Amino acid sequence: MTTVRRLGIASVLLVAFGASIAYYATTLALRNGHGESAQNVPWVALVFIAALAAGGVMAFWKTVQRDINTISSQMDTMAKTGKIGLVMLESTGELNQIVKPLNEFLTMIRRQTEDLRVENRELQIQFRVAAAEKHNTEAIIFSISDAVIVTNRFDELILANEAAEKLLGFKLTPSLRKNIDQIISNGTLVRLIRETRSNGRNITRKVVEHCIDQKGSPRTFNITLSCVAAPADEVSGVVAVLHDVTREKEIARIKTDFVSNVSHELKTPLSSIKAYIEMLLDGEAQDEKTTKEFYEIISFDTDRLHRLIENILNISRIESGVVKVVREPISLTSVVKQVLDVAVIQAKSKNIRLTDSLAPVYYQIEADRDMIYQAVLNLLSNAIKYTPEDGSVNVTVNVDERRKVAVCEVSDTGAGIPVDDLPKIFDKFYRVRANEKMAKGTGLGLALVKHIVETVHDGKLTVTSEEGKGSTLAFELPIIV
């Protein structure tokens, strides 16, 4: 039974009790002849009832207030701890009517909060996985040496790696979400990206060769453009990968030149040898002096042929590591002298003054004699080849006892080498364009010298040159102490 009901019944009983007392007191007063005091009885009863009723209301109010305090403090704890529980009352008071639906409501909220918490946890996991995947993808893109640009369907930049920043001259962070025509100055590249995006899924991937100026020098790129397709079949962006093929194209050109140069190089001495042998067979050399001269020419051209073939073979043998190196104590000076004996003929034919200044022979290096001979020969024959008639070539061997090295220097007063070509002259098949007309060659001589000096003998090869004035190529090797 609720407090209100209990209070109602108590009030009815109170009124009934009061009325009975009033009736009994009035009857008693009338019977005893006190008609006047009988008139006051109902008032006294009323005051008595009112006092009892006030006491009842106060008791009721106290109960309600205690329940409200209990509810309020439990709700307060829930708000503070964030833990939704049930509201519990000590008594089965009137407020139980409110507490029941309130608890149902709290149970529902608790269930929904729990569901949201599970959903939130799943979303957090998904977010972390997505962030890790994004990080991985970016790390892959940043590690690629080719320039990579990613744009969205509005042609705005959304990703680019360091190579792209360097090549196209922009900074990623301030350029993000900007239209590519505000970032990339190369109009063709911007047009290619736009076309790829607007062609959409019709052409998903294409490769275009395009030249881009980099710090004043043009470089050729293979640009691979691919559409990024969204699940709803529409294009969500474009990925452009720019691969620098300048060097590859240069090598292809050099190789083609090499084949024609090698065939020419082989043909020239061969034709000469054939012609002089035919003349000898036909008896055109009538005296001993002419016969000797013919033999000398045949011998010189045979040497040339031999040198060329040796160069080609040696370089591939050294590169593939199959060459057998015979190291022994040798005198660099005596090897240079041997080379000078051979080169003097070549120098004479161009009226080139060949001078030398060589260290004493007792200084020794630990090296492969044939290889060192080959290296010195290549340097000396280049000096003569690229020096115009009447020039001069000087060969020196010096020993630096402090550094414990023997240095061989070949200097000439020839054509010199342009600064831009200097870092490349030791590359296989590389020939300096400006000097190509001066002499035939294969671009293998210096590559072989570098291999012999640096790869096989741990030495050092250097070049200094001034265009039109001459060059000095030098190598140093440790001496035996």
Q: Largest Cα–Cα distance of the chain, in whole Å?
A: 196
376 is a contact residue toward ligand ADP (CB under 6 A): no
Nearest approach in angstroms of CB 355 to ligand ADP is: 15
417 is a contact residue toward ligand ADP (CB under 6 A): yes
Q: How far apart are the first and last CA of the chain?
A: 119
| 142-153: b (≥16 Cβ within 10 Å) or e | eeeebbbbbbbb
133 vs 466 by CB, closer to ligand ADP: 466
352 vs 399 by CB, closer to ligand ADP: 352
Is the distance from CB of 349 to CB of 301 less than 8 angstroms?
no
Using the contact rule CB under 6 A, the part of the chain among 27-35, 275-283, 412-420, 450-458 near ligand ADP is 412-420
Cα separation, 351 vs 50, whole angstroms: 148
289 vs 437 by CB, closer to ligand ADP: 437
240 vs 417 by CB, closer to ligand ADP: 417
Nearest approach in angstroms of CB 402 to ligand ADP is: 28
Is the distance from CB of 238 to CB of 151 less than 8 angstroms?
yes
Is the distance from CB of 257 to CB of 236 less than 8 angstroms?
no
Using the contact rule CB under 6 A, the part of the chain among 68-76, 140-148, 222-230, 444-452 near ligand ADP is 444-452
Using the contact rule CB under 6 A, the part of the chain among 72-80, 103-111, 380-388, 397-405 near ligand ADP is 380-388
State the DSSP string of 87-138: ---SS--TTHHHHHHHHHHHHHHHHHHHHHHHHHHHHHHHHHHHHHHHHHHH
432 is a contact residue toward ligand ADP (CB under 6 A): yes
21 vs 266 by CB, closer to ligand ADP: 266
Token representation of residue 369: 């004699």
Angle, CA 475 vertex, CA 469 and CA 481 arms, to 5°: 145
Number of residues engaging ligand ADP in binding (CB under 6 A): 22
Token representation of residue 161: 């790696």
Cα separation, 455 vs 317, whole angstroms: 12
The amino acid that residue 144 corresponds to is I
Using the contact rule CB under 6 A, the part of the chain among 174-182, 333-341, 356-364, 427-435 near ligand ADP is 427-435
Is the distance from CB of 5 to CB of 39 less than 8 angstroms?
no
How far is the CA of 186 from the CAs of 20, 152, 213, 223, 382, in angstroms? 112, 19, 9, 13, 43
Cα separation, 431 vs 443, whole angstroms: 5
445 is a contact residue toward ligand ADP (CB under 6 A): yes
Out of 471, 475, 477, 479, name the contact with ligand ADP by CB under 6 A.
Answer: 471
Give the neighbor-by-neighbor strand order of the sheet with 460-466.
353-358, 392-400, 405-412, 470-478, 460-466
Using the contact rule CB under 6 A, the part of the chain among 29-37, 107-115, 127-135, 435-443 near ligand ADP is 435-443
Cα separation, 118 vs 125, whole angstroms: 11
Out of 241, 435, 450, 461, name the contact with ligand ADP by CB under 6 A.
Answer: 435
269 is a contact residue toward ligand ADP (CB under 6 A): no
Nearest approach in angstroms of CB 396 to ligand ADP is: 15
Using the contact rule CB under 6 A, the part of the chain among 281-289, 296-304, 369-377, 415-423 near ligand ADP is 415-423
Out of 276, 441, 477, 479, name the contact with ligand ADP by CB under 6 A.
Answer: 441
Nearest approach in angstroms of CB 197 to ligand ADP is: 47
State the DSSP string of 424-466: GTTSTT---GGGTTT----S-HHHHHHIIIIIIT--EEEEEEE
Nearest approach in angstroms of CB 395 to ligand ADP is: 12
373 is a contact residue toward ligand ADP (CB under 6 A): no
Is the distance from CB of 109 to CB of 126 less than 8 angstroms?
no
Cα separation, 394 vs 254, whole angstroms: 31
Nearest approach in angstroms of CB 477 to ligand ADP is: 20
Nearest approach in angstroms of CB 270 to ligand ADP is: 17
Using the contact rule CB under 6 A, the part of the chain among 8-16, 344-352, 360-368, 409-417 near ligand ADP is 409-417
408 is a contact residue toward ligand ADP (CB under 6 A): no
Out of 444, 461, 477, 479, name the contact with ligand ADP by CB under 6 A.
Answer: 444
Out of 26, 95, 442, 457, name the contact with ligand ADP by CB under 6 A.
Answer: 442
Using the contact rule CB under 6 A, the part of the chain among 136-144, 146-154, 192-200, 413-421 near ligand ADP is 413-421
Cα separation, 3 vs 444, whole angstroms: 113
Out of 331, 333, 382, 413, name the contact with ligand ADP by CB under 6 A.
Answer: 382
- Residue 250 phi/psi, 5° resolution? -65, -45
Residues that bind ligand ADP (CB under 6 A): 378, 382-383, 386, 412, 414-417, 425, 430-432, 435, 441-447, 471
